Amino acid sequence: MWVTDSGRDPVHNGMATVLSNVKKDYFTGRNRETERFQEVLQDSRKTKQLLHIYGTAGIGKTSLLHAFQKVTQPMDDVVFFNLNSDDFIHSPSFLAEQMIALISTKLHIRPPHTAQSLGLEDCLHIIRNAAKVYQIVVAVDNYERIGELDRWFREVFINHLPTNVMIVLAGRHPLTEGWLGEKEADLPITQLQVTGFNYDETCRYLKDTEGEKRQEVLKNFWGVTQGNPLLLSLARLAHRHMPAAYLYPENKIDRLAHLVKEWLDKCSHKEDLDLIQAASVLRQFDHTVLSYVLKNNVSLSAYSRLTALPFVKQSNHGWTVHESVRLALSKEFRDRNPEQEHRLRKQSAFYYLHRMDMKELTDRNLQEYLHHIREEVNHSELFASSSTVKKEIQSFDLDHFDELDTLVHQLPDSLSKLKEEMKALKLAYPDQNRRWVSTGSVKDNGYPACQLVKNEAGETLGLSTTLPICKETIKQLKVHPTASSFFNGLSMMEEKEFTGTHDAYPGWYIRMTACENPEDTETGLLLLYHLFPLLLTGGKMIISTSAPSFHELLKFFGFRETGESQIDQNPYGKTSSTFILDVRGRRFIHYLNNLTQTVFSASYMPD
């Protein structure tokens, strides 16, 4: 059956016709991958299967997923759901929300409630019902960026899927040991490395797309691109006759940026350049959002030229520019005209703020809004960092909380007090059966108990522990080392707001700590951005921290210092201060509006 949004009728004359109708560049040198997909798809009719394709950026993984989807289109009993990890906040509830929205669209069914009000169990129930009629394929692109959700996806989501399901993952790296251990017998795994085209395939690709070329020209294209499909697509735009490879940077990323610059230098049409720049600021776009961001009604002809570019692909939310090209474009435009880049980011943030103000309080709108806030802060002098260390977040839920014992042992001895703090927070959870991995929903009161920022060497640079505030936990918080002063100082009315009967927790207590460098604002930003999904619960966030740089960070992002402070064991500060943010009701949109004004007015200083 067809699962795309096109209005075409299904093709019923066999696989060969389908393959011939797919864009040629999808299948140049990709016969091995498409044949293996068909074999695993056939095997998944009997038992659950996983196919993982991996390879470097620009090698064609996203195109291959689209090709896989086209392969399934003439099959009336197969439905293909194509997810992208960049499209949702990495928590189970938001993945479930995305999945339900896709199922509703592709199978033309109407859930009993809105997707935002449904949880993981509802999602699995809908998938099980669909699997009674169809064979299901669930694909996740950019899987390497799914981060802390990897364990839950592997151990919970996949385990609860019906047996006639095929999972397809696409990422830059081979699967981790967690995938290839004792579970392998229960879930057969096929891994395929996607590589660049060889010389003959590169020549065939260029001849298929542009007709006959002289041998010298073909050699030049091969020398510059080495068969990388993304570089090939850029090279075709930038040149008819490629100069020698030695004139280009050796590094592949620098070479891509060089080709982007050469292509832009040849673009003379202002409307096209404006559209390309706006598309590079937005991670997902359609005609409406481009017109809003540019404050001008985009012509359909220019929009068609943009979406026809080889590195612009259709997504579940419109169109998207390949990430490597988008980053290169954004940097080039920022260097050329930082004022215009600033205006486009600001207008983009206001677009998603407006959508949330119109009652579209979805995880995607919040995620895209926060992306533009983060980009503006990161490219400003506000919290500048000279660090080149790559950092990532790891999250731990209650089921795996004991693993923190090992992690805390890696911290300096002077911070051993943190172990007792974290254990106290664990014991304070009101219902040990209501675990994040089970409920999978911030909106259903579940949330990872601890988040750690780690560098590439695996060293812990900072952490935050999160505790929902309710009748049971407030008793523990009143005796907690860094929370007792604030919670013992609440009036009866204020305490009642935290302990009354609620559908969701009315607030969250968060402990943020810098483990190595108290001036490491970048670590604080990473922790704070990961905590912002809690804003959707519409309660209060109370943060305790002793890191001096975190204080200024929280004040900038609208947190109010309560005046409560307590002696802290952290060697970098004698006291731990408490900050509060209240986003109940209409305060939420009011807060985001103020934050937008603050970030974009404070961060930009024209050269």
pLDDT of residue 229: 92
pLDDT of residue 88: 75
In terms of phi and psi (left: phi > 0; alpha: psi -120 to 50; beta: otherwise), the region of 63 is alpha
Determine phi and psi for 326, rounding to 5 degrees: -60, -45
Please give the structure tokens belonging to residue 580.
Answer: 């509060």
Is the CB of residue 52 less than 8 Å from the CB of residue 107? no
pLDDT of residue 597: 92
Q: In terms of C-beta density within 10 A (0-12 exposed, 13-18 middle, 19 or more buried), how is residue 458 classed? A: exposed
pLDDT of residue 50: 95
pLDDT of residue 90: 76
Cβ within 8 Å of residue 159, ≥6 positions away: none
Digit-coded pLDDT (tens) for 487-522: 999 998 988 888 766 556 788 889 887 776 767 788
Count the Cβ atoms, other than its own, within 10 Å of residue 233. Answer: 23
pLDDT of residue 536: 75
Helix (H, G, I), strand (E, B) or coil at 592: helix
Domain locations in the chain? 15-193, 199-266, 271-378, 391-602
Please give the structure tokens belonging to residue 246.
Answer: 């030695």
**CATH, domain range 15-193:** 3.40.50.300
How far apart, in whole angstroms, are the C-alpha atoms of residue 391 and residue 453? 6
Low-confidence ranges of the chain (pLDDT < 50): 1-26, 115, 182, 184, 408-416, 429-446, 570-573, 605-607
Please give the structure tokens belonging to residue 138.
Answer: 């669930």
Classify domain 391-602 at the CATH superfamily level.
Answer: Gcn5-related N-acetyltransferase (GNAT) (3.40.630.30)
How far apart, in whole angstroms, are the C-alpha atoms of residue 459 and residue 51? 32
pLDDT of residue 65: 92
How far apart, in whole angstroms, are the C-alpha atoms of residue 437 and residue 133? 28
Strand 507-514 to strand 450-455: parallel, antiparallel, or no bridges (unpaired)? unpaired
Strand 507-514 to strand 460-469: parallel, antiparallel, or no bridges (unpaired)? antiparallel
Is the CB of residue 161 less than 8 Å from the CB of residue 81? no
